[in-house]
Chains A and B, each alone.
Chain A
């Protein structure tokens, strides 16, 4: 099911040279921006986006139309649109497809959004590793400028809009919106205290809307179809609208990015879109639903919602992976939808090793501003290294929980929660495995890491 739906967001992905303006325009690009800028009032655009129930695609799921409404500029303020293309949450690889395959959809969305929120300048911040994507987008912007779609009079309208790319240089934390703003302003990517929120005081001290690449890319279709029609494409319509890009990676036969309505189940994502488990004799053990910061689900864990007013009552007694994937449904499940890019793990995987892999990531990426995060992420990693190598103590499992609990709520940004929540989720879902590894270390096959590395014949430059 689902597999025969007409693609909307990814409708131009299969078109040869879809990144060229002439090709994209033959397939519908810029018609909606022309209509929006020449025939619609900005408030009417925001109203359609509100009706669409477009939940932010960067991970937090905040309703985009409501966010736009927070702009309350004073006379003389320059309003900015900043598009977040940092895409660095482990397991997430969807925005890259838009940047590479359909940059004009993003540019068109940025034009409409700038007009709706009163901005004349947009910066598209893209992680530095995406050098090709930046080059493609820069070339697409050049074409749009040459056509006059970006510049002083887009579509003849006396409403100047400039759009620039801005390259990052390698730092996960720059996906956090205020760290991203610091990075845009030429500073270290350290998150800012909130409030003030960016809509009040963002880029260069001015009112700023920060939206994910996919969020902005959804705007043209919303305006073209009408917010309500777009919203109703979702299986969870009204609260969580439209279609979105799903990613699936790890132990599936067909990893990749797929467009589907909001509200398919994880089981569908894995079996229908992902082509099922990679090895037929290794069943699904666990799945991280939407990037590494979202707590893990397991298929043999059933939804416990006997009360009739529980938001998940409809799925009481069913597997966690049979709950529709939505911002609110997943929150009720005790996890998060995040970026909607799932990491699938089969029965061969040891979950303590997964925890170690992820905590190495968080330790490396903590910006270091706040002590609980800087020290906590390192302490979690160290403890897991000891446990994995067979030097653990039974009480180390409680220590992991204690460290994680002391990180939460004690820092400037949500990075600490993004570290602690998956850690706590892993322990909660796989407690027996943690207790076993704490007592005995990882099974023998898992320890090859350091011993094989030591066998490398070293003749490296040491300067």
Chain B
């Protein structure tokens, strides 16, 4: 089925195009708009974006495949990125990943059988002072233990109907700063 953005989201594309001296520069922001609507970057999305920005499909695909956050295949309802890099590893990141694999029944790179969660390994997500951590969709969850992670997953599962519609634009100050700001 051919892809098209909703009228409201297409207005966002117009606003994005106005930010740059050429249309190509809007490519990554426009791909984000598409992925937020469609869930992943399908071949139809690539065709639509290429036409909208007057680029070749090959060059759009080249960009999509370069960046880890663009999904070139469908993913679960929620995506969990578990950080595996050094600071998280030093504070128990492996145990977090192993627990996720057992609970979801899939390895990193896979999707749970119920389609609720995709599990991805992430390289350093810049929350090293709050290690170990995972990112679930747009949210960072930090200073994790296996128990706190389970509580978070339970709440994501039970709230998935409403949280799926939350966009980053609706962020409030509640999400700001779990970092100790300065010396105590």
A residues bordering B, Cβ < 8 Å?
2-3, 5, 7, 10, 13-14, 17, 19-20, 78, 87-93, 95-97, 100-101, 127-132, 134-136, 138-139, 164, 166-172, 183-189, 204, 247-251, 254-260, 273, 288, 292, 341, 343, 345, 349, 354, 357-358, 360-361, 364-365, 367, 448-449, 452-453, 456-462
B residues bordering A, Cβ < 8 Å?
19-22, 24-29, 31-32, 53, 62-63, 66-70, 81, 84-87, 89-91, 94, 98, 101-102, 104-107, 110-113, 115, 122-131, 135, 138-140, 168-169, 171, 173, 175-177, 179-184
Contact call B98/A459, Cβ cutoff below 8 A? no
Report the minimum CB–CB distance from A205 to chain B (whole Å).
10
Contact call A17/B173, Cβ cutoff below 8 A? yes
Instruction: Evaluate whether A461 and B110 lie within 8 angstroms (CB atoms) in the complex, with A128-B69, A136-B171, A256-B129 already known.
Output: yes
A249 to B115, CA, bound (A): 35
**Could you list 21 A-B pairs, sorted by A, with CB under 8 Å?**
A87-B126, A90-B86, A93-B179, A96-B126, A128-B69, A129-B125, A131-B138, A132-B140, A134-B168, A167-B32, A171-B66, A254-B180, A256-B180, A257-B182, A258-B183, A357-B84, A453-B101, A456-B101, A457-B105, A458-B105, A460-B113
Contact call B181/A13, Cβ cutoff below 8 A? yes
A313 to B22, CA, bound (A): 54
Taking a contact as CB atoms closer than 8 A, the residue among A90, A97, A167 that contacts B87 in the complex is: A90
Instruction: Evaluate whether A343 and B86 lie within 8 angstroms (CB atoms) in the complex, with A185-B25, A186-B26 already known.
Output: yes
Instruction: Evaluate whether A456 and B126 lie within 8 angstroms (CB atoms) in the complex, with A129-B135, A166-B29 already known.
Output: no
What residues on A are CB-neighbors of B84 within 8 Å? Answer: 357, 360
Instruction: Evaluate whether A186 and B25 lie within 8 angstroms (CB atoms) in the complex, with A13-B177, A93-B126, A247-B128 already known.
Output: yes
Contact call B63/A171, Cβ cutoff below 8 A? no
Contact call B69/A129, Cβ cutoff below 8 A? yes
Measured CB to CB, the nearest residue on chain A to B70 is A169
Measured CB to CB, the nearest residue on chain B to A187 is B63
What residues on B are CB-neighbors of A138 within 8 Å? Answer: 169
Taking a contact as CB atoms closer than 8 A, the residue among B25, B98, B140, B183 that contacts A453 in the complex is: B98
A130 to B173, CA, bound (A): 14
Measured CB to CB, the nearest residue on chain A to B124 is A90
Contact call A255/B131, Cβ cutoff below 8 A? yes
A166 to B70, CA, bound (A): 15
What residues on B are CB-neighbors of A364 within 8 Å? Answer: 123
Contact call B68/A171, Cβ cutoff below 8 A? yes
Contact call A343/B128, Cβ cutoff below 8 A? yes
Contact call A345/B171, Cβ cutoff below 8 A? no
What residues on A are CB-neighbors of B112 within 8 Å? Answer: 459-461
A172 to B126, CA, bound (A): 11
Report the minimum CB–CB distance from B86 to chain A (whole Å).
5
What residues on A are CB-neighbors of B69 within 8 Å? Answer: 128-129, 169-170
Measured CB to CB, the nearest residue on chain A to B130 is A255
What residues on A are CB-neighbors of B70 within 8 Å? Answer: 169-170
Report the minimum CB–CB distance from B44 to chain A (whole Å).
17
Taking a contact as CB atoms closer than 8 A, the residue among A3, A189, A365, A456 that contacts B183 in the complex is: A3
Report the minimum CB–CB distance from B89 to chain A (whole Å).
5
A5 to B183, CA, bound (A): 9
Taking a contact as CB atoms closer than 8 A, the residue among A92, A250, A365 that contacts B91 in the complex is: A250
Measured CB to CB, the nearest residue on chain A to B22 is A204
What residues on A are CB-neighbors of B22 within 8 Å? Answer: 185, 204
Contact call A136/B105, Cβ cutoff below 8 A? no
Contact call B128/A90, Cβ cutoff below 8 A? yes
A203 to B158, CA, bound (A): 45
Contact call B111/A100, Cβ cutoff below 8 A? no
Measured CB to CB, the nearest residue on chain A to B93 is A357
A364 to B25, CA, bound (A): 25
A139 to B167, CA, bound (A): 14
Taking a contact as CB atoms closer than 8 A, the residue among B25, B90, B102, B128 that contacts A341 in the complex is: B128
Measured CB to CB, the nearest residue on chain B to A15 is B181
Contact call B63/A93, Cβ cutoff below 8 A? no
Contact call A101/B181, Cβ cutoff below 8 A? yes
Contact call B107/A460, Cβ cutoff below 8 A? yes
A97-B181, A132-B139 given; name 19 further pairs at CB < 8 Å.
A88-B124, A90-B85, A91-B128, A101-B176, A129-B125, A135-B169, A168-B28, A171-B67, A186-B26, A186-B53, A248-B129, A257-B180, A257-B181, A259-B183, A260-B183, A292-B85, A357-B89, A448-B94, A456-B105
A336 to B69, CA, bound (A): 30
A449 to B93, CA, bound (A): 11
Instruction: Evaluate whether A189 and B67 lie within 8 angstroms (CB atoms) in the complex, with A358-B86, A361-B85 already known.
Output: yes
Contact call B175/A132, Cβ cutoff below 8 A? yes
Q: Which 5 A-B pairs have the closest CB atoms?
A: A13-B181, A460-B106, A186-B27, A169-B67, A460-B110
Contact call B25/A258, Cβ cutoff below 8 A? no
Report the minimum CB–CB distance from A70 to chain B (whole Å).
22
Measured CB to CB, the nearest residue on chain B to A162 is B19
A459 to B53, CA, bound (A): 40
A129 to B79, CA, bound (A): 12
Contact call A7/B182, Cβ cutoff below 8 A? yes
Report the minimum CB–CB distance from A431 to chain B (whole Å).
20
Contact call A2/B125, Cβ cutoff below 8 A? no
Contact call A456/B176, Cβ cutoff below 8 A? no
